[in-house]
Structure formats: structure tokens, C-alpha cells
Amino acid sequence: MSDLKNAIRDVPDFPKPGILFRDIAPLLRDRFEDTLRALDALLTDEEWNGIDALAGVESRGFILGAALATRRGKGFVLVRKQGKLPPPVVDVAYDLEYGSGVLEMQRGKGRVVLVDDVLATGGTMTAAAELCERAGYQLEALLALIDLKIVPGYAWRNMRVRACIEY
């Protein structure tokens, strides 16, 4: 995974002073297949067989989750920012290290794996996980491309995030 980690670009003071942004655009541009292979390997074949869909968090989670869903022949479910999905929707408010927001999702059913690009403080992942359950899905696993280890040992309901890259 160190070769993937080396491809990530550090952008200091983005989106605001004091934040070190980990830019995954080089992975998507130059190492996308390797990135997907690494994410895919975080689950066993048995786990992949037990899920119906991947739920991706807007926006980079869409890219990763939809590509993994296609690769594995699974469905894809959108976790979007407020006001982007037609009603009816279920919503959850959450706080970030540099703001707050609301995530929305349409109701559904089945077993899902939640996918996002970065686990930082856990605010978005926690809100998205809660949202999946409120919307009627059974959450089977949490995946992130990067775990910044801001919250060491982060878990949601005893479910640890599986990540390819750690800082």
C-alpha cells in the first residue's frame, strides 16, 4: 500500500487554514485499478457474497463505491448532501472538523457496505452509518481508502473501519 500512499498529494491549509488535505486525485487518475484492487481486498469473498449493494458517501465515495459495485456485480446506493435527492428521504445532521452538514438517503433494504474516501474525525462516517440503518439497510462493513487515525480505533457499533492507507 505504500506505493498508493506515495501517490497521494498533501495540500496544506485546504479547505481552510490548519487542515492538511490528502488529495486522492492522482490515485484516481494514475492508479485507479490498483486503488480498487486494494479496496476490494479489504473484504473476503464470503463477505462480498453476503452483501447486496455498496453505499457511497458524496462525492468521492460515489467514485470508489460505484466502481467497486460494478467490479463485484452489486447495486449502488447514494448517500448525498441535503437537497440533492428527490423525496422522500431520510436525513441525519452531523458535524465535521471544519463545519456541519446533513446527509440524505432514500429508503431501501438489503445488506450494504458503506464506502468513503477518508476517515478523519468520524463525523461523516458515523452519520452515514446511522443513515443507512434509518433508511432500512443492514450495514455489514465500513470501508475507507484513507484512515487519518485522528480517532485511533474508530468503530461504529463495534464495526471497525477497514482502510487501505493509514497516516
Query: What CATH number does residue 127 fall under?
Result: 3.40.50.2020
Query: What pLDDT does residue 99 have?
Result: 77
Range 45-65 average pLDDT: 98
Distance CA 131, CA 109 (A): 12
User: Has residue 76 got a pLDDT over 90?
Assistant: yes
Give 19's pLDDT tier (boundaries 50, 70, 90).
confident
Tell me, yes or no, if 97 is annotated catalytic.
yes
Instruction: Indicate the average pLDDT of the chain.
Output: 95
Q: Which of 22, 60, 72, 162 is catalytic?
A: 60
pLDDT tens sequence across 123-167: 999 999 999 999 999 999 999 999 999 999 899 999 999 999 999
Q: Whole domain around residue 138: which residue ranges?
A: 44-166
- Residue 8 belongs to some domain of the structure: no
Specify if 141 maps to a domain: yes
CA distances from 55 to 13, 29, 50, 138 (A): 30, 22, 15, 11
Q: Which of 47, 72, 97, 162 is catalytic?
A: 97
Q: What is the pLDDT of residue 90?
A: 98
Confidence (pLDDT) at 93: 96
Domain count, the chain: 1
How sure is the predictor about 15, in pLDDT bands with cuts at 50, 70 and 90?
confident
- Range 96-112 average pLDDT: 91
- pTM for this one? 0.94
pLDDT at 2: 80
10 found inside a domain: no
By percentage, how much of the chain surpasses pLDDT 70?
98
User: Does residue 135 belong to any structural domain of this protein?
Assistant: yes
